[in-house]
Chains A and B, each alone.
Chain A
């Protein structure tokens, strides 16, 4: 097994890395590129904490070889915020108290971001289905679903959407 030079396009920027073929995308992101947003939890595609987007679709980075990710547009949670400003979705998570221990949050954000890109105004059932592959062991699902639902459409009746009032 030899090291191979590959280029991964992550959050719009190309990154050259030398890797072994048995390294997963998650390992390369976390250990070679210091992007520790995506988390490893179960390591076998059950929990969803390692979710990143490839060409706009959410995938498990723990079950994707880095070799297989060549040529795809990879988006990680680091790519959501612009400069110093959080994205609407991230801000909504903060406002709604959807982050408890925070370990599942990067995965939740990436799954939810892909959903919102496809369907900007999803109903609760759609959101729950889209996030079915992401497990939160603090079990704060109600707040997470609310945060996604209100991310693009803040609700007047929701005190979390209007924190100043």
Chain B
């Protein structure tokens, strides 16, 4: 498969990259690892006039532990994150999520954490070749007015299948976005627009610089369901954060349940999370109840568009959330 034509720009430093972004705006795309972008371009889903390569911006690759938070450069490759002791010990969910992205030993040397979060939403009616799509009317995401995933839908129902975003949302991460004019920090919870066509609240001249994970003496975990253990995207995934109380160590003080690959964005289920507050880490019944409620809630967002049947995916939400809850609870007890 051939790539469409584009100009290749290779800024030597961050300022030059931001200048280029400010000049080209919508016409340019950022190229980091390329494992998502180049596939889309090959399929004709994206035809940017220019690609701005981050190859020379080595300063975007780092993992720093500041005691109360971890800062990760957006250009840090997944292999680096997996091999980091800091991430493994203090942000377990992110380690587990990154470990499951794509083909473990191969894509991880190119793919970056920034790219993983910023990957576009997917739908098996849309992520197809030019030839496949030419045989039918364009869908919402393709510039048309039809949704093949849900009948009579007036908007795009593509699904966010990022492993990293689900785990980071559970961890309460923040994103640092910079542009030529300013720098802003956005909570990952608020980064999603719930619009399948433009899923991220990010301007075209902005660049994701850093991911900040606040550390709060909590345990996290990530579980996912996919066809194969490697290569495939998740069809259901869950990120969990459990914070035990300071005085009574077996009581849950705060919890976060995030379900991914079920909607247009990872779903932070605040109501279901609050069911766990004050409960014991051994309270399997409360876990089951929260998992069941998570399933009911997440099921309302899902459409049949990422493989497997919708019924199966919905039922598995409860199981995947429960597995992740048990894992996080076990880690909190140890």
Contact = CB atoms under 8 A, between A and B. Distances in A.
Contact of B103 (A43, A67, A114, A132): A132
A45 interface: yes
A30 to B, nearest CB: 13
A58 B7 contact: no
By CB atoms of chain B within 10 A, which of A46, A48, A60 has the most? A60
A132 B107 contact: no
Contacts of B106: 48, 51, 58-60, 111, 133-134
A109 to B, nearest CB: 13
B5 A68 contact: no
Contacts of A115: 105
Contacts of A48: 103, 106
B35 interface: yes
Given A45-B35, A45-B39, A65-B38, A133 B107 contact: yes
A1 B7 contact: yes
| Chain A contact residues: helix, strand, loop or mixed | mixed
B10 interface: yes
B102 interface: yes
Interface string A48-86: 100100100111101111011000000000000000000
A162 interface: no
Contacts of A21: 6-8, 51
25 contacts: A1-B7, A22-B4, A22-B5, A22-B6, A24-B38, A44-B39, A44-B42, A45-B38, A45-B107, A46-B231, A48-B103, A57-B109, A58-B109, A59-B110, A63-B35, A63-B38, A65-B8, A65-B31, A129-B230, A130-B105, A133-B103, A133-B104, A133-B230, A133-B231, A134-B103
Interface of B: 1-8, 10, 31, 34-35, 38-39, 42-43, 51, 53, 55, 79, 102-107, 109-110, 229-231
